[in-house]
Amino acid sequence: MTRRRLSHLAGLVLAAGLAGLSACSSGPEKPKPTPLEALKPQIAGRQVWTQSLGSVDFPLRIAASASAVIVASSDGRVVALSADNGRELWRGDANGKLSAGVGSDGRYASVVTTGNELVVLDTGKPLWRARLTTRVVTPPLVAGERVFVLGVDRSVQAFDVLDGRKLWIQQRPGDPLTLLQPGVLLPWKDTLVVGQGPRLAGLDPLRGAVRWETTVASPRGANEVERLADLVGPAARVGDAVCVRGFQAAVGCVNAERGALGWAKNTGGTNGVAADEQLVFAADASDRITAWKREGGEVAWTSERMLHRGLSSPLVVGPTLVFGDYEGQLHFLDRSNGQPLLRLPTDGKPIVGAPVKVGTTVVAVTQRGTVFAFRPE
């Protein structure tokens, strides 16, 4: 087992003990990152603003509204910034270290603390908090005047966004081992789409009843760790399709109208995917980037230019594909063939989560907690 693969063991919740796991800590040295080749920019782009947030050592997901981004630091600060110029719109505090966030509909923002408290803010002002019975690392979803929470035990809960009243809970049978990594939780029309283990399920957001479910990834391997195939976020929603990654197992797309699997391809990797009308994009555990045709799943192209560079989850911005890396570089690639077009630096620390796009602005956050906004042209 490689050192890179072992690093993911820190992201596992052991519901049943695995004796001798620590004995696997020795192994081959981590492969050296591929040096970046000299690049003459093929497109223009510039940094337009930056803000200091505070260190980020939890799986932050940037929440985006029509004109703002909502971000959070590990110590519980939650801040809304104008995507246009970085001006602070409001600031709040969860009063505790964070394990998950941020979910927002533009007004209400939700995070979860390491003490298993769900916290909801109304334009920065604390509105309510509720004690959860399970650990949470997936950012809550705020939609339709409800807050939806996905636990590491694969349970899903719904709360009233105004008063914190619990509306329903949908519980899956327990598994001996689950993944401590953000999962899939997103809206699609009037359906709540969630990842529960290797399955993608469509739930009734009003009552929590299961409308459909389909298996995307088939567990493989000789032991429980290697057979983990939980769906990990972020997922990509394009038309009627929701495309997802199964942890170290597969990438696939599901028709969310019918709950039918369109296609799934066996491939390693631990981060989420991005997609547009034609292609689905992801990097595997070695940071080999692959683009699959969205309709049938055939490979359109692959690139090994950034092997072992600790790539983030991707973002599609028009004709470009954007990845962050472990040195804080933001890479803009040609989405049609993976050729590098532009490279923009941040503060030298790893990019956390996936960059997001708001209007013409691309926003990324580093592990140091610096928020960077760029405009490719």
- Tens of pLDDT, residues 182-204: 999 999 999 999 999 999 999 99
Percent of the chain with pLDDT over 70: 91
DSSP state letters, 201-264: EEE-TTT--EEEEEE-----SSSTTTT---EEEEEEEETTEEEEEETTTEEEEEETTTTEEEEE
Q: Is the pLDDT of residue 75 over 60?
A: yes
Residue 81: the pLDDT is: 98
Cα–Cα distance for residue pair 312/351, rounded to 1 Å: 7
Q: Is pLDDT of 11 > 80?
A: no
**Maximum Cα interatomic distance, the chain, rounded to a whole number of Å:** 56
| pLDDT at position 1 | 38
The answer on pLDDT for 12 being more than 90 is no
Please list, in sequence order, all residues whose beta carbon lies within 8 angstroms of the beta carbon of residue 157, skipping any fewer than 6 positions away: 132, 148, 149, 151, 166, 168, 169, 170
Global pTM value: 0.92
Q: Report which DSSP code applies to 29.
A: P
CB distance 249 to 212 below 8 Å:
no
Confidence of residue 151 (pLDDT cuts 50, 70, 90): very high
The pLDDT value recorded for residue 15 is 41
* Distance from C-alpha of 355 to C-alpha of 328, rounded to nearest angstrom: 12
Give the model's pLDDT for residue 219: 78
The residue-averaged pLDDT of 98-109 equals 97
Give per-residue pLDDT as tens, 226-276: 778 899 999 999 999 999 999 999 999 999 999 999 999 999 999 999 999
How distant is the alpha carbon of residue 329 from its chain centre?
18
Say yes or no to pLDDT of 8 above 50. Answer: no
pLDDT at residue 156 greater than cutoff 90:
yes
54, pLDDT greater than 60: yes
Digit-coded pLDDT (tens) for 166-184: 999 998 776 667 788 999 9
pLDDT at 25: 38
pLDDT value of position 222: 67
Q: What percentage of the chain exceeds 90 in pLDDT?
A: 85
Average pLDDT along the chain: 91
Q: What is the mean pLDDT of residues 201-229?
A: 88
Fold of the CATH domain 60-180: Lipocalin (2.40.128)
At residue 342, the pLDDT reads 97
**Domain extents in the chain:** 60-180
Compute the average pLDDT of residues 292-300.
97
What is the mean predicted confidence (pLDDT) over 270-284? 97
Q: pLDDT tens digits, residue range 313-371?
A: 999 999 999 999 999 999 999 999 999 999 999 999 999 999 999 999 999 999 999 99
> What is the pLDDT at residue 4?
37
pLDDT for res 2:
37
